[in-house]
Structure 1
Amino acid sequence: MRRSIVILFLFVQAFAFAQTKQMSLEDAVYGRYTYLYPESMTGLQWMDDEHFSFVEDKSIVAESAKTGEKDTVVSLDELNEIAGTKFKSIPSYSWLCETDLLLSSANKYWVVDIDQKHVEFQIELPNGAENANFSEEARFVAFTQKDDLYVAFADGTTKQITNDGGNGIVNGQTVHRNEFGISGGIFNSPEGNFVAFYRKDESMVKDYPLVDFMAREAEYTPVKYPMAGMESHHVTLGVYNIETGKTTFLKTGEPLDHFLTNVAWSPDEKTIYMAELNREQNHMQLNCYDVTTGDKVKTLFEETSDSYVEPLYPIQFSKVNPNEFYYLSRRDGWFHVYKYNTDGELVQKITKGEWEVTKMLGFDANEKSLFIEATIDDPLQNNIYKVDVKSGKTVRLSLETGVHGGTLSPDATYLLDSWSAKEVAGKVDLISANGKDKRTIFESGDPIKDYQLGENRLVSLKTKDGKYDLHGRFILPVDFDPAKKYPVVVYVYGGPHSQLVTKGWHNQARWWQYYMASQGYIAFTLDNRGTSNRGRAFETAIHRNLGILATEDQMQGVEYLLSLPYVDANRIGVHGWSYGGFMTLNLKLKHPEIFKVAVAGGPVVDWSMYEIMYGERYMDMPQENPEGYKKSDMTNYVENLEGKLMLIHGVQDETVVMQHSMKFLRECVKQNKQVDFFAYPVHPHNVRGKDRVHLMEKVSQYFFENL
């Protein structure tokens, strides 16, 4: 009995000791993405209808979805022997069929027959090759070198597709600064007979002066940066015929500064479909072009808006009926799935309701059931649903609260559900498409279980007009005592395409916020109007007036904080980066009576100095919206500056150029307002790597010393 008591005592002591470990700044910043990052299943993907594969113990392992039986497909040593390489770990891979494995590493590609244990073919790209796009069907890799486009074939030959790159001409790369869902500039056709590619002419865009100060003599390293209201680049889409070597450009016409987005091939490779958006971004046409002639065949449909239209997803052709396709659009105010025919006629609206479809995962064989990720039950969650195409009835397949992401098996019988929740660091479940069966195939340990963390709570508030819910998260200090008063640091972003508060792991908190809580601060974050997954009206409420309603919403969060008896109303600070830096300045300068200390990183100060694609979408052109630009120009509020403010900026920032901070600092000098400033040489918009620890120490120390 006594021995049992001693063991229990030792266990309790060990548990208590484990829970008193404090998070260091290095833990919070560097560890967040390394040793304190949850384990995951590397290389997880479907191998065939029944089996999925993943990397385990330096091998690719296959597991049966039906039985759970595992089998080693190929070991690292075997791969090295087959491919004649010296991989130190399993490289990036994907299955082309049940037996053919595509490997890629350091500009080399191998297709390996796993059954026969031999390399079917390999392709090696030259040094400097970028933007590689592999075509399984035609056994080639399209890639760019500098500003030209090439194709490397399995027989060892390489063809140059373009030869006009340079001097403002860029081929085969992303355009429109990666807006509109664009993530690449090369589009191989389904059967590999053609390569479509973007050609960008930015010769008319003024060179923006960046300087490399690390050279023996500082060097001028200009970039093309089209600012709101100024001249924009011109983009066309070329189509290269692999057999004939001929390139045809689609006749997309004028004005030349419109936007070409969401490129999609027809299954028969005869036509290309593309969303075309005017410079004003309020009128979109889905157009079809003939690949051989480049002529426009038809406009299938159009979308217009009083604010903006933002096409993000290419159409997806039906595999049952090649004359029909599916389109994910926000035309009714929420992202939903529509079925059209190739005459542009609406066949069916498949999903509907005041919630967002966040991803289409695929269909069953007859396309009677659609699998999606969506926010049906909660905008703070992402769940997997099965939709009956005919009736629109939905069934939730991921049952646990959290943020889920699914991968559908080729025959749509199973899904791999990778998810996290507040107290679930990472988990992968295998679920059946009928919703009847589920088993866990992987669960990550909690890498911060030994740390003493402040309590993490979610809070729901209302906008000032009572129209919308606002979701926030706050973290209480370690060893919280409700009888004491605590300072608060508000972390803010607040811009479009963002959501900082979810029901994912730790409610998506940053470890830096836990670090500040360990130092005796309350850490608070709120998603204001303009952020994601809340519908078009919630997002576009900020149009032409950035910072106005968002600041009002953030102040609703502050009002809530001030209602708490343990909040020190005289010690509230705010920090944010990029759009969050802009919001930090809004809060600090418009409410100096509330915010004692602020740190604005990479802040947008004047939207007329931001780039066209993003800036004009949300603000229109400066000449069209002078009052909106005036109200959102932070230099117009410098006279309100009180307390402590620090600006931080990366010297090589190509996203929010240094000019923003310089303009703000100049105005502070003119008005005799004291402000602190720190620059990070060699860093672009974000300070990464070990230097980020230096950055966050700078930010943290500023609050420690002044708040």
Structure 2
Amino acid sequence: MYRIVFLFLLFAQLSVVAQTKQMSLEDAIMGRYTHLNPASVRGLSWQDDENYTRIKSDSLVVIHAKTGQEKCLLTTNELQEITNASLRYFPAFNWLKDGSLLVQASGTYFVVNANEKSLIYSIELPEEAQNAVFSEEGKWVAFTQGDDLYVALSDGTVKQITRDGGNGILNGQSVHRNEFGISNGIFISPKGNFIAFYRKDESMVSDYPLVDYMAREAAYTPVKYPMAGLASHHVTLGVYNIQSGTTTFLKTGEPLDHFLTNVAWSPDEKNIYMAELNREQKHMQLNCYDAATGDKVKTLFEETGDTYVEPLFPIEFSKVNPAEFYYLSRQDGWFHVYKYNTEGKLVQQITKGEWEVTRLIGFDPKEKSLFVEGTLDSPIENHIYRIDVKSGKSTRLSVGEGMHRAVLSPGASYVLDNWNGVEVPRKVDLLSANGKVQQNIFEAGNPLADYDLGETKLVTLKTADGKYDLFGRLILPPNFDPAKKYPVVVYVYGGPHSQMVDKSWQYQTRWWQYYMASQGYIAFTLDNRGTNNRGRAFETAIHRQLGILETEDQMQGVKYLKSLPYVDADRMGVHGWSYGGFMTLNLMMRHPEVFNVGVAGGPVVDWSMYEIMYGERYMDMPQENPEGYKETNMENHVTNLQGKLMLIHGAQDATVVMQHSMKFLRECVKQNKPVDFFAYPIHPHNVRGKDRVHLMEKVSQYFFDYL
């Protein structure tokens, strides 16, 4: 008995000792990319409907889903011998439809027979190649070099597709500043016979002056920056025929500055479907074009909105009926899946309700069941669901609160569920299509186990009108004493397409907030109206008046903080970057009686100096909304500034250009308002790498000195 008690006390003491490590600033900034990042599974993918693969001990291993039996397919050394490439570890790969393995290494695409351990063919790209896209069916790789588009064939030949690149013309690259779900500029056809590509003409857009101060003589390095209300670039879509070598451009017409988004090929390669959005972003047409002639065939349907319409997902054609397709849209106020036919007739709305489908995963072979990720259970969780297409009935497959990401097997028999939760750094479960957990494949240890982080709480508040829930995260200092008063640092972002608080590991906490907690500060973050996964009305409430309702919601968080007996209401600070920098300025100057100290990084000051695609969506054009632009211009609120404020900006920032900070600082000087400023040479919109430790040390010290 005494021995048991002794052992219990010993383990209890060891547990206390183990959790006394304090988070250093170096840990907080660099640790997320090194020792504090939860372990993960490399190469997790489906080889076929019954077997999945992963990389173990630098070898590619295949595991049978039902029995769990595994065998080594290919070692790194064997792959090196097959490809003759220099490999330090097993590289990224993809399983192709024919069962072969696609490997990228040393600037070359290798197609390998893993079972026979032989090379089928390879395609070598030039060293300067970028934006590469591989076609299994065509056995080629399309890529850009400079501002032109090329295709490299499996016989070793390289063809130049465009020759007009340069002087403001770019081919095969992302357009519209990566808005509207755009992430690339090359779209390969299903059978590999054609390459569709964006051609961007930005010659009419003014050169925005950036300077490289590190050169012997500072060098002028301008970028094209289309500011709200001014000239925008013009985009067209070309279609290159691999066999004939000819290019046809779709006749998308005028006005030339409208947006071409969500490009999709028909299964027979005869047509291209594309969402076209007017510059005002209030009217979208889903149009069909003849890929051979470029002629517009028809408009299938249209979507309009009083605030804005934002198409984000290309259509996906049915494999059972090629005359039908699936479309993810927010037309009823929430992202849901719709089925249309190619005449534009709505066949069925498959999912419904006040929740968001966040991702369309796939279907079973007969398309009787649809698999999606979404927020049906909670807006701060992401789960995997099987939807009966006919009835719309949903079955949740994922187990455990948290954020789940699915990889569906080719025949939809199984799901690989890669997920994390508040107390789950990372797990990978194998699920059957009916939702039963077949086995746990992987579970990461807790890299924060030795740290005394203090208590982290999820907070649910209400908007001032009581209409919406607002989710926040409160972090108390280690060794918290409820009898003491603690200063608070609010970390804020608050902009569209963001969600800072959810039920992922540690509630998605930034490690810097744990560092500040270790220094005796309460750390707080709240998601306000305008942020993600809450439906169209919640998001678009901020339209034409950015910063107003967001600030109102953040003040609901302040009201809650002030209600806590251990919060020192006379010592409150705020920090944020980009939209968060804009929100920092809003909070500091709209509520100077509350916030004593603020650090605004890369802040938007005047939305008329921000780019067209994002800025005009949320604010309309300056000439259409002069009062809105005036009220949201932070220069017009400098007179209210009372507390200590520091602005930080990257000298090479081409997202929120330095002009924002300069104009704000000039207004502070004119009004004799003391304000601090720091610039980071060579850095763009954010400060990354080891220099980020310097940045966050400066941010932290500002609060240590003045809060």
TM-score (normalizing by structure 1): 0.99
Alignment correspondent of 1:660: 660
CA distance in 1, matches of 2:74, 2:416: 22
Q: How many angstroms does 1:6 deviate by?
A: 5.0
Q: Which deviates more, 4-13 or 309-318?
A: 4-13
Q: Which amino acid in 1 is paired with 2:65?
A: A
Pair 1:412 & 2:412 matched: yes
CA distance in 2, matches of 1:517, 1:33: 21
- Assess if the C-alpha contact under 8 Å between 2:73 and 2:115 holds in 1: no
Q: How many angstroms does 1:432 deviate by?
A: 0.6
Alignment correspondent of 1:273: 273
DSSP-derived class of the 2:288 partner: strand
CA distance in 1, matches of 2:365, 2:8: 57
Alignment correspondent of 1:558: 558
Pair 1:311 & 2:311 matched: yes
Pair 1:585 & 2:585 matched: yes
Alignment correspondent of 2:471: 471
Alignment correspondent of 1:186: 186
User: Do the aligned partners of residues 98 and 238 (structure 1) sit closer, same or farther apart at CA in structure 2, a change above 3 Å counting?
Assistant: closer
Q: How many angstroms does 1:127 deviate by?
A: 1.5
CA distance in 2, matches of 1:122, 1:567: 63
Q: Which deviates more, 98-107 or 488-497?
A: 98-107
Q: How many angstroms does 1:13 deviate by?
A: 2.7
CA shift digits 1:183-242 (9 cap, x unpaired): 000001001000000000000000000000000000000000000000000000000000
Q: How many angstroms does 1:580 deviate by?
A: 0.3
Alignment correspondent of 2:158: 158
- Assess if the C-alpha contact under 8 Å between 1:491 and 1:524 holds in 2: yes
Q: How many angstroms does 1:439 deviate by?
A: 1.7
Alignment correspondent of 2:33: 33
Pair 1:167 & 2:199 matched: no
Q: How many angstroms does 1:2 deviate by?
A: 5.9
CA distance in 1, matches of 2:402, 2:395: 17
CA shift digits 1:24-69 (9 cap, x unpaired): 0000110012110000001111111101111110101111111111
CA shift digits 1:285-327 (9 cap, x unpaired): 0000001100000000000000000000000000000000000
CA shift digits 1:371-418 (9 cap, x unpaired): 000100100000000100000000111121111111110000100011
Q: Which amino acid in 1 is paired with 2:669?
A: V
- Assess if the C-alpha contact under 8 Å between 1:138 and 1:192 holds in 2: yes
DSSP-derived class of the 1:30 partner: helix
Identity %, equivalent residues? 72
Alignment correspondent of 2:128: 128
DSSP-derived class of the 2:417 partner: strand
Q: How many angstroms does 1:17 deviate by?
A: 1.2
DSSP-derived class of the 1:297 partner: strand
CA distance in 2, matches of 1:438, 1:188: 37
Alignment correspondent of 1:622: 622
Alignment of 1:677-692 (within 5 A): 677-692=677-692
Q: Which deviates more, 77-86 or 696-705?
A: 77-86
User: Do the aligned partners of residues 271 and 97 (structure 1) sit closer, same or farther apart at CA in structure 2, a change above 3 Å counting?
Assistant: closer
DSSP-derived class of the 1:575 partner: strand
CA shift digits 1:225-275 (9 cap, x unpaired): 000000000000000000000000000000000000000000000000000
CA distance in 1, matches of 2:189, 2:684: 35
- Assess if the C-alpha contact under 8 Å between 2:457 and 2:474 holds in 1: yes
Alignment of 1:264-343 (within 5 A): 264-343=264-343
Q: How many angstroms does 1:15 deviate by?
A: 1.7
Alignment of 1:395-434 (within 5 A): 395-434=395-434
- Assess if the C-alpha contact under 8 Å between 2:289 and 2:295 holds in 1: yes
CA distance in 1, matches of 2:543, 2:501: 22
Q: Which amino acid in 2 is paired with 1:297?
A: V
Q: Which amino acid in 2 is paired with 1:390?
A: K
DSSP-derived class of the 2:558 partner: helix
CA distance in 2, matches of 1:243, 1:83: 29
- Assess if the C-alpha contact under 8 Å between 1:99 and 1:115 holds in 2: no
CA distance in 2, matches of 1:649, 1:99: 49
Q: Which amino acid in 2 is paired with 1:652?
A: Q
Q: Which amino acid in 2 is paired with 1:416?
A: L
CA distance in 2, matches of 1:558, 1:392: 41
CA distance in 1, matches of 2:118, 2:63: 23
User: Do the aligned partners of residues 471 and 596 (structure 1) sit closer, same or farther apart at CA in structure 2, a change above 3 Å counting?
Assistant: same
CA distance in 2, matches of 1:252, 1:97: 34
CA distance in 2, matches of 1:296, 1:206: 31
Alignment correspondent of 2:631: 631
DSSP-derived class of the 2:596 partner: strand
- Assess if the C-alpha contact under 8 Å between 1:326 and 1:337 holds in 2: yes
Q: How many angstroms does 1:8 deviate by?
A: 4.1
Q: Which amino acid in 1 is paired with 2:75?
A: S
Q: CA RMSD in A?
A: 0.9
Alignment correspondent of 1:545: 545
CA distance in 1, matches of 2:242, 2:86: 33
CA distance in 2, matches of 1:411, 1:687: 44
CA distance in 2, matches of 1:138, 1:54: 27
Alignment of 1:516-535 (within 5 A): 516-535=516-535
Task: Structure 2: state its 5+ residue gaps.
Answer: none
Q: How many angstroms does 1:86 deviate by?
A: 2.0
Q: Which deviates more, 63-72 or 291-300?
A: 63-72
- Assess if the C-alpha contact under 8 Å between 1:47 and 1:98 holds in 2: no
Alignment correspondent of 2:44: 44
Alignment correspondent of 1:498: 498
Q: Which amino acid in 1 is paired with 2:376?
A: I
Q: How many angstroms does 1:3 deviate by?
A: 5.6
CA distance in 1, matches of 2:366, 2:127: 45
Alignment of 1:44-83 (within 5 A): 44-83=44-83
CA distance in 1, matches of 2:252, 2:261: 12
State the number of aligned residues. Answer: 707
CA distance in 2, matches of 1:291, 1:583: 46
Segments ≥4 residues shifted beyond 3 Å: 1-10
